[in-house]
């Protein structure tokens, strides 16, 4: 199984071991660049920033882990999702819309505890019963 980690999934995993079995079973773990940005921002505001940066660097160096970034294809998917959500009157935060588009593009399952991703039925989710 190919998974994409949302920011809260990575944080939950590091703090409490939540999602550990799923992350270990995944054939590929993808981390969007916008998730990295959110993590780095949080690390800078926290008391253990250097330690957290080091843990993240080790994780990103693992063979099954890959950083993914938006492409032109992602931008088209983003546009489709943006229009879909706005027509329903249920927009998502911008970073989450990019994360959803990347997950869809890479044919993966999004690991998150954010329930608002359910507004995008196009994106497979692993949430709730972590």
Q: How far apart are CA 85 and CA 91, in angstroms?
A: 5
Domain that holds residue 59: 2-126
pLDDT tens digit string along 75-104?
999 999 999 999 999 999 999 999 999 999
Write the CATH number for 23.
Answer: 3.40.50.1010
Q: What is the CA radius of gyration of the chain?
A: 14
Number of domains in the chain: 1
Contact 44, 83 (CB under 8 A): no
Look-up of token digits 């995944």: 26
pLDDT tens digit string along 20-79?
999 999 999 999 999 999 999 999 998 999 999 999 999 999 999 999 999 999 999 999
Is 67 in a helix, a strand, or coil?
strand
Q: How far apart are CA 28 and CA 9, in angstroms?
A: 15
């Amino acid at each position: 199984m190919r998974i994409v980690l949302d920011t809260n999934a990575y944080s939950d995993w590091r703090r409490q071991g939540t999602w550990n079995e799923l992350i270990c079973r995944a054939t590929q773990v993808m981390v969007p660049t916008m998730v990295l940005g959110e993590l780095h921002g949080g690390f800078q505001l926290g008391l253990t920033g250097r330690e957290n940066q080091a843990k993240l660097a080790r994780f990103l160096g693992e063979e099954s882990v890959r950083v993914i970034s938006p492409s032109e294809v992602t931008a088209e998917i983003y546009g489709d999702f943006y229009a879909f959500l706005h027509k329903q009157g249920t927009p998502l935060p911008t970073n989450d819309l990019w994360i959803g588009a990347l997950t869809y593009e890479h044919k993966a399952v999004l690991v998150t505890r954010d329930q608002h991703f359910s507004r995008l039925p196009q994106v497979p989710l692993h949430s709730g019963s972590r």
